[in-house]
Each structure stands twice: as C-alpha cells, then as structure tokens.
Amino acid sequence: MDSLQRQFPQFPFSIIADEWIRFFKGKSLPEQLRDRRIARVLIAPLLFSSGGIGIAEDGNFFILLNDMNLPGENAESLGHEIAHTFHHDLTQNPPKNFLPSDAAELIEDFCRVFSEIWLRENEGERLRRIVGGLKNNSREKSPAIFYFKRKNSGS
C-alpha cells in the first residue's frame, strides 16, 4: 500500500498514521473514530467548507461534514478530518496541536492522501454507505479550533 511516510517524510507522525490505517482497516467506523478521540460527527449546513474539525469542551474532537455534499464527498472529507488528528498529541487534554506553523499548506496534502489510502483500505463503498446514512443532526455552536478545508480547492 502507499505509504504516507514515504510521501511526507517531513512529518514524523506519517509513520504513526500508516500504522494506524493498517491496524484499523476493516474495523468499525465508531471504533476508529473513538481511537482518534473523535466523539461526534455532525452533518451541518456549511457555507464555504466541505468539512471541519474542532475540539469540544470535553476535550474530544468533533467533525463537521457539509449537508449539501454527496455521501462519497463526505466520506472523503471524513477521512481528511481524521487525518488532522495525527498532528495532535492525543495524550493531552485537550489534544495539543504540534504542527509547525509553516506546514499549514503541506498538511492539507497529507490529509488528502491519508483520506485516499484510508478509503481504499476500508472498502470506500462501505464507508460511503455509513456516511450517507448520517442525518443532519445539529446546528452546533462554533468551537474554538477549526481546520477548514475549502470547497473545490482540492486541499
């Protein structure tokens, strides 16, 4: 399988992400999300973004997906946002972001590639069905931290 470590050697957490995908492939989605401290996935009306991740008051992540997007697009966004948890120290509460500030653009490439590999290794169709079954279930208040992925920017 493709290796994030080979494509993103400048990110020490690439190897952790590779191992994580390998270890969790085929496991249930909730199990995978729980392991990354993602407590909630919300389908919400987002105007300018296909997804986002934030940290809630309880110190766990939540992910927002755009209710205008197709299940396939939201499955890709979900993988993308899961990837963002890998530049956080999950042993801290709340998880601490250790991404160098000059890596803000490169991390978006990392997340895109992570999502491709993650979907492939998890039979993307299965995940698209699960994500397609999620309902628009909230109008969450904005939390403190967001990593927004712009729509159609390929990032």
Residues at the interface with Zn ion (CB under 5 A): 108, 111, 147, 149
Toward Zn ion, which CB reaches closer, 37 or 149?
A: 149
Q: Which residue is nearest to Zn ion (CB)?
A: 149
Q: Could you tell me the smallest distance in angstroms from the CB atom of residue 19 to Zn ion?
A: 21
Strand order in the sheet with 38-44: 38-44, 61-66, 49-55, 149-150
Q: Return the number of the residue (33 or 111) whose C-beta is nearest Zn ion.
A: 111
Q: Hunting for tokens 């496991």 — which residue is that?
A: 27
User: How many angstroms separate the CA atoms of 72 and 57, rounded?
Assistant: 30
CB-count burial class (<10 Å; 0-12, 13-18, 19+) for 112: middle
Q: How far apart are CB 141 and Zn ion at their closest, in Å?
A: 21
Q: In angstroms, rounded to a whole number, what is the distance separating the alpha carbons of residues 3 and 17?
A: 9
Query: Least separation, in Å, of the C-beta of 6 and Zn ion?
Result: 21
Q: Name the minimum Å distance from CB 111 to Zn ion.
A: 5
Which is nearer to Zn ion, 72 or 148 (by Cβ)? 148
